[in-house]
Amino acid sequence: MRRIGSPFSVRTCCGLRFAATSAGKIGQNLRCPPHPLLVRPMATLPSPSDDTRGPDGPLAVFLIFLRLGLTSFGGPVAHLAYFREELVRRRGWLSEAAYADVVALCQCLPGPASSQTGIALGLARAGHGGALAAWLGFTLPSALAMIVFALGVTRYGMAAVPGALHGLKLVAVAVVAQAVWGMARTLCVGPVRIAIMLVAAGTVLAWPGPWAQVALMAAAAVAGMVLLRPALAGAHEPLRLPVTHRGGVLALALFAALLAGLPLLAQWAADPAVRVFDAFFRAGALVFGGGHVVLPLLDAAVVGPGWVGKEAFLAGYGAAQAMPGPLFSFAAFLGAAMQKPPTGLAGGLLCTLAIFLPGALLVLGALPFWESLRRNQRAQAALAGINAGVVGLLLAALWHPVWTSAVQGPLDIVLVALALVALMRWKLPPWLVVVASGVAGWAVAALL
């Protein structure tokens, strides 16, 4: 046993100062502030090499993460707090500083940070089998629940429970508004970042589409490199993860090959499943900023071609807020709710795999190169620009399609405002606000 020192500070791969852990993808002034859920006095913990608490095979990892997947409500911030409490403080899988470093790396990569952190922790505990087991355990509960919900929507229709699904669409407005506000306060500090955010929002509203969003992210990265000057990274505790440089190169090469090759393959393939896999893989590969930022990418990918109706899309997104586990499980709903094959259970599982795969490949590929990446000033500045750009994308999505499709009159505005107050002022759990909004929507429809 060894004692970890008092509050520590490490810097992320983007040069961001990271205290204890942080929530979502963050970068205020290129410095990540501590989150109150995650910053506590240091406890006496074993080092990873000294750990003897509990079995360490893939099955044990799966069962631990299955319990986390069933109980981790509240989004990425809460997920990281649950991971820390269970795996660092209770089980002693790794030290506080090592955990902070894993989270810091995942902050800097596209994809769902909490799921990527779980994959890295499973890898550290039980190798590549443990990484897969951690992802399956954490993702399956919410993914299967969303598939069941989608099957109910497609079988009984949007009017099965009068008003309830409309209430879910309204709570989606409040959830996205909360995400925009919180991310803007953290990621868009200063005139340069605010300008990048506003330009990105205006551009994507004027020229919607997935490729316009990709071009915007590239432009935001260039703007960050030119206009922002990050600080140098400091020392950190080395990560102890069983990943070689060769394995990292292979994972990154596979990611690049799929990102470049799937769009070409989708143009020529007769099987629609290839086009669906390509759309969800691209969405998962291009998301900086957490689960909510995937909303505009998925809207362009599935609503635009008519795969999923806008009503069902927003209802599913609202329902996803009430689920434990990663918000990316919304992809399972979309796959199961598609109007043409692949649909149902097969479609839900296909889309779930496609949207999580790029994030998994990136974290496995980046781990061996963590030290050099975190000291690269150009990478730090580019990420800062990208982070501001994704807030702009989410701001645009808040107006269209979220607001324009959900809000139909003054009473809807009142319900959205109440949901927003419940989330931001009263700090009620998101799942409770979602349930209350569904009940309120049903009651209003029944009375009117």
User: In order along the chain (448 residues), what is the average pLDDT of each group of 10 residues?
Assistant: 42 40 39 41 37 71 95 75 86 80 77 92 93 98 96 73 79 85 86 94 84 82 87 53 87 96 91 95 83 82 91 89 90 95 95 97 89 72 83 86 88 94 90 88 85
Give 268: exposed, middle or buried? Use CB within 10 Å, 0-12, 13-18, 19+: exposed
- The two tokens of residue 400 are 């269209």
Residue 94: the pLDDT is 84
Query: Using omega within 30 degrees of 0 as the cis cutoff, is the peptide bond preceding 342 cis?
Result: yes
Kindly report, residue by residue over 184-214, the tens digit of the pLDDT: 888 898 999 999 999 999 998 998 766 677 7
CA dihedral 261, 265, 271, 273 (to 10 degrees): 20
Strand-pair category, 10-11 with 17-18? antiparallel
pTM (predicted TM-score)? 0.71
Residue (of 172, 66, 108) closest to 423 by Cα position: 172
CA distance 327 to 310: 18
Local structure of 110: helix, strand or coil: coil
Give the HSE-up count for residue 45: Cα atoms under 13 Å, Cβ half-sphere: 24
Kindly report, residue by residue over 101-154, the tens digit of the pLDDT: 787 678 778 889 889 999 999 998 999 999 999 999 999 999 999 999 999 887
Residue 37: the pLDDT is 39
Identity at 389, one-letter amino acid code: G
The H-or-E segment that residue 2 falls in is strand 2-3
The H-or-E segment that residue 324 falls in is none
Residue 74: the pLDDT is 65
Interacting residues of 171 by C-beta distance below 8 A, sequence separation 6+: 318, 321, 416, 419, 433, 434, 437, 438
Which residue(s) pair with 11 in the sheet? 17
CA distance 36 to 40: 8
Residue (of 272, 331, 228) closest to 15 by Cα position: 228
Local structure of 126: helix, strand or coil: helix
Contact 384, 228 (CB under 8 A): yes
Identity at 78, one-letter amino acid code: A
Residue 38: the pLDDT is 43
CA distance 299 to 355: 14
CA distance 313 to 315: 6
Identity at 142, one-letter amino acid code: S
